[in-house]
Chains A and B, each alone.
Chain A
Amino acid sequence: MIDFFKDKTIKTPADYAKTLSEVRLVRERLIPINIAFLSSYTSEVLNPYISVELAKGGYFPNNYFAPFNQFEQEILNKDGGLYSPLPDVVIIHNMIEDIYPDLISNFAKYSKTELDSIAHQIIERHKAILELLRDRTNADILIVNFSIISIDEVDSIYSYIKQQKNQYIQEINKKLLLLCNKISSCHSIDYMNMVCKVGAQEWMDRKLYFMARVPFSGQGQIEFGKILAETICSVKNQPHKCLVLDLDNTLWGGVIGEEGMSGIQISEYYPGNVFKHFQRTILGLRNQGVLLAISSKNNLDDAIEAFQNHSDCLLKESDFSAVEINWNDKATNIQKIAKKLNIGLDSIVFFDDNPTERQWVSDKLPQVKVIDVPEDPMLYGKTLHNCNYFNFLSITHEDKNRAKMVRQNQKREELNASVKDLDSFLESLNMIVSVGLSDKSTLERISQLTNKTNQFNLTTKRYSTIEISDFIKEGHMVLYISVKDCFGDHGLSGVAIIKRQSESEWMIDVFLLSCRIIGKKIESSFLVEIINIVQGKGATKLLGQYIASKKNHLTKDFYKNHNFSLINKEGGIWEYDLKSVPKKINFIKTKRL
């Protein structure tokens, strides 16, 4: 958040209007972003709220509000407002009561067959809208799902027919979510989540609804703007990778060094259940791919005993990918954790109940996100969710297994320390590198890697799934590798995009490896495969590019070490003599998928 928002209270519509005028004056400090709204009502009322909330996240939006109920017309009109300027984000909000007014207020009139047919029509129509839009823009698409409440029902009891209706609409929402998962960079926003935050009774304002087709009150509009802005920020910013936690009064109540294992508060009953609940929340994040680490001032043995032997302590030592329990200062420990996990300080979030520690870490390591932890432990979980650092809009297989893979990596390193000769160590890993051509199922992960990988990344070019799928359509080669060894499966962990410049000339535009497979000569095997593939295609020229960044120093001599010669110093362009035979890495097996 830019310092502009410090100490500002922005609550009422007038506050927002005033702040928006002020934000316009500092817009050069914000990242411009084009947002288009397609809706079945007058969405322009949302402008001040979404604009100010986005400015808090560092963006200055240029909002386009299409005339209401013009979904297909806007998407099909190539010269229309939707495409000029090209949107970075498109928000679709079609209210079910605007399409089928009777469905919400007179549900009982429909037969089962009619209902099935309507559900089918709604989904087919949105499928067509989303696919068209996907085809025509690279924008992230956010679609708001359907509301289950009507203006008259907000505060009455839920009768049988209402429950039936709710379930019917939830079924449609379920199908909509599945549809979003199939379309790249398309996410669903849950309408009822927003209604719940404001409260159903406060959500609507009848006079706005009947006089101006605005389906929510001022308070509702503010909340809607907030959620949209937070979702946009989550789409545009990569989620953070690691949560560093303190122990005493964070993961359990009390001080283990003083009170011993039996004295700490963690149990099924108050106050211990508050901490147990927080541990569950943390495990939930871990299972979404967040790496957990500990930085605590304690005696290692005391703390480990709790993890091993306390039956109510849900978190176990093995859930943590890095553990720094000692008397060092926490900034030093966090630096160690970052190094151990091979991640940047800017992808670390720090949670500690002690304000002094938080201040110290903020001062020493400004890149680390330090959570402003409330005094009341009952609010810990809520605070962790509300910080929005771990909003996973899509979760890949690799995300779910990240902690496990990091653990396997650490075992490998332990073995590494015990084996003296690197090659014989690498040989003992029995690595298998499988090379595949990208298809639909791998696009998401490939794009994720181009966006997240910093260290072993020759050009640091960031590409969206759309751009990558366009490369494939244009005849370029998008290759990936999956790596296995004796400790387990690393999953899809390397990418190369080789662009066809002409019939005979290919250029390595992207070459990257995820940090978890660095240092095993896998890059050499991958490059040899690329050389073989382009040779097989009858190429006479293979070029590669290196663009230096702050973080990719490791790859500076990559082409030089693999017998490429520098032909253009300024552009960092290297050429490989395709007549020569590349040197194979004998201890790595390669497979083509």
Chain B
Amino acid sequence: MIDFEKLKEVVSDILAVDINNIDENSSSDNIDQWDSLSHIRLVMAIEAEFEVKLTPDDMMDMLSVKLIKMILEDKIDI
């Protein structure tokens, strides 16, 4: 399992959104700050905080907190 609180924290820090407003369903569709630039920052932040390497495919797929969580679980649980 990945540390979901930590993931929420990273998303909240990078997007400058209150952590209480972040849940699994948060995505680029419902958070204004989640634009293409923030997306790049989010990718770098997740790589650094979770010590993983993300691929271009991961980068294109991680469009919501839920999807990020799934991608991370894939990488970490194996």
Contacts and interface: CB of A to CB of B under 8 A. Distances in A.
B20 interface: no
Given A207-B54, A207-B56, A210-B56, A13 B37 contact: no
Interface in B29-78: 36-37, 40-41, 43-45, 47-49, 54-56, 59
B13 interface: yes
A13 B44 contact: yes
Interface residues of B, number: 19
Contacts of B43: 207-208
A412 B38 CA distance: 64
A207 B59 contact: yes
Contact of B45 (A12, A42, A211): A12
Contacts of B16: 17, 21
Contacts of A385: none
B10 interface: yes
A257 interface: no
Contact of A17 (B41, B54, B55): B41
A218 interface: yes
Q: How large is the interface on A (under 10, 10 to 19, 20 to 34, 35 or more residues)?
A: 20 to 34
Contacts, number: 50
Contact of A218 (B9, B37, B44, B59): B44
A207 B59 CA distance: 9
A48 B41 contact: yes
A214 B40 contact: yes
B14 interface: yes
Contact of A14 (B40, B48, B54, B56): B48
Contact of A12 (B48, B54, B59): B48
A45 B40 contact: yes
A218 B10 CA distance: 15
Contacts of B59: 207, 211
B57 to A, nearest CB: 9
B54 A13 contact: no
Nearest to B15: A17
Kindly name the residue among A13, A45, A205, A208 whose own CB sees the greatest number of chain B CB atoms within 10 A: A13
15 contacts: A12-B48, A12-B49, A13-B48, A14-B10, A14-B13, A14-B48, A14-B49, A17-B13, A17-B41, A18-B13, A45-B37, A205-B44, A207-B59, A208-B43, A218-B47
Interface of A: 12-14, 17-18, 21, 42, 44-45, 48, 205, 207-208, 210-212, 214, 217-218, 221
Which 10 pairs from chain A and chain B are nearest by CB? A218-B44, A12-B48, A18-B13, A13-B45, A14-B45, A17-B13, A13-B44, A14-B13, A17-B14, A207-B56
